[in-house]
Chains A and B, each alone.
Chain A
Amino acid sequence: MPKIVAFTIDGKKCQAAAGTLLVAAAVENGVYIPTLCNYPGIPPKGACRICTVRINGRLATACTTRVLPDMEVLAITPELEEFRASVVEILFAEGNHLCPSCEKSGSCELQALGYRYRMRAPRFPYAFPKRGVEAWHPKILKDHNRCILCKRCIRGIQNAQGKSLFAFGKRGDRLVINIDPETSRDASDDLVRLAVEMCPVGAILRKGQGFDVPIGRRKFDRMQIGSDISPQGGS
Chain B
Amino acid sequence: MSRKIVIEPLTRVEGHGKVTIHLDDQGEVVQSRLHIVEFRGFERFVQGRPYWEAPVLVQRLCGICPVSHHLAAAKAMDVIVGAGTGDGLTPTAEKMRRLMHYGQIFQSHSLHFFHLASPDLLFGYDSPPETRNVIGVIMANRELATQAVLMRKYGQEIIAATAGKKIHGTGAVPGGINKNLSIAERDVLLKGPHPMNADAMVRYAQGALDFFKDYYSKHKEFIDNFSRFPSNHLSLVRPDGALDFYDGVLRAVDADGRKILHDVECQDYLAHIREEVRSWTYMKFPYLRHLGPEKGWYRVGPLARLNTADFVPSPLAQEEFEAFRKVTGGRPNDMCMHTHWARLIETLHAAEMIRDLLRDADLQGSDLVVRGKREAEGVGIIEAPRGTLFHHYRVSPDDQIVMANLIVSTTNNNEPMNRAVNNVARALMTKAKEITEGMMNAVEVAIRAYDPCLSCATHAYGSMALAVSLCDASGNVIAQRTR
* Contacts from A to B (Cβ < 8 Å): 100-101, 103, 132-133, 135-136, 141, 205, 207-216
Contacts and interface: CB of A to CB of B under 8 A. Distances in A.
A221 B437 CA distance: 49
B164 interface: yes
Nearest to B374: A208
A213 B48 CA distance: 23
What 9 pairs between A and B have smallest CB-CB spacing?
A: A215-B164, A210-B52, A101-B57, A135-B398, A214-B179, A211-B170, A214-B178, A214-B164, A135-B400
Nearest to A209: B52
Given A100-B168, A207-B399, A212 B173 contact: yes
8 contacts: A100-B57, A133-B49, A141-B399, A205-B50, A210-B53, A212-B173, A215-B164, A215-B169
B60 A100 contact: yes
Contact of A132 (B48, B169, B369): B48
B9 interface: no
B171 interface: yes
Contacts of A210: 50, 52-53, 56, 173
A105 B53 CA distance: 12
Nearest to B398: A135
A215 B399 contact: no
B165 A211 contact: no
A141 B51 CA distance: 12
Interface string B386-412: 000000000010111000000000000
B81 interface: yes
Given A101-B56, A215-B170, A208 B399 contact: yes
Given A141-B399, A211-B56, A216 B164 contact: yes
Contacts of B53: 101, 103, 210
B177 to A, nearest CB: 9
A214 B52 contact: no
Interface in B159-173: 163-165, 168-171, 173
Given A100-B168, A101-B60, A216-B164, A211 B400 contact: no
Contacts of A100: 56-57, 60, 168
A133 B53 CA distance: 13
Given A135-B398, A208-B174, A211-B52, 4 more contacts: A103-B52, A208-B52, A210-B56, A215-B170
B178 A103 contact: no
A136 B49 CA distance: 13
A205 B49 CA distance: 12
B170 A214 contact: yes
A135 B50 CA distance: 8
B178 A211 contact: yes
Interface size class of B (residues with CB under 8 A): 20 to 34
B399 A135 contact: yes
Nearest to A138: B398
A109 to B, nearest CB: 19
Interface string B151-189: 000000000000111001111011000110000000000
Given A101-B57, A101-B60, A215 B50 contact: no
Nearest to A136: B398
Contacts of B163: 215
Contacts of B56: 100-101, 103, 210-211
Nearest to A141: B50
Contacts of B52: 103, 208-211
B471 to A, nearest CB: 40
Contacts of A101: 49, 53, 56-57, 60
A227 to B, nearest CB: 21
Nearest to A143: B50
A184 to B, nearest CB: 15
A95 B57 CA distance: 18
Contacts of A132: 48
B399 to A, nearest CB: 6
Interface string B34-71: 00000000000000111011011100100000000000
Contacts of A209: 52
A136 B399 CA distance: 9
A230 B48 CA distance: 43
Contacts of B164: 214-216
A135 B369 CA distance: 23
B81 A133 contact: no
A216 B184 CA distance: 15
Contacts of A215: 163-165, 169-170
- Name the residue among A100, A132, A208 with the largest chain B CB count within 10 angstroms: A208
A132 B48 CA distance: 8
Nearest to B56: A101
A179 B400 CA distance: 17
Contact of A133 (B55, B179, B369, B400): B400
Given A100-B60, A101-B60, A207-B399, A213 B178 contact: yes
B178 A208 contact: no
B49 to A, nearest CB: 7
Interface in B366-395: 369
A59 to B, nearest CB: 40
A211 B57 CA distance: 11
A103 to B, nearest CB: 7
Contacts of A213: 178
Contacts of B50: 133, 135, 141, 205, 207, 210
- Name the residue among A136, A208, A211, A216 with the largest chain B CB count within 10 angstroms: A211
B312 to A, nearest CB: 32
Given A101-B53, A133-B50, A214 B400 contact: no
Contacts of A136: 398
A136 B396 CA distance: 10
B165 A133 contact: no
A141 B396 CA distance: 13
A96 B52 CA distance: 19
B78 to A, nearest CB: 13
A132 B400 CA distance: 11
Given A135-B50, A208-B399, A214 B168 contact: no
A103 B49 CA distance: 12
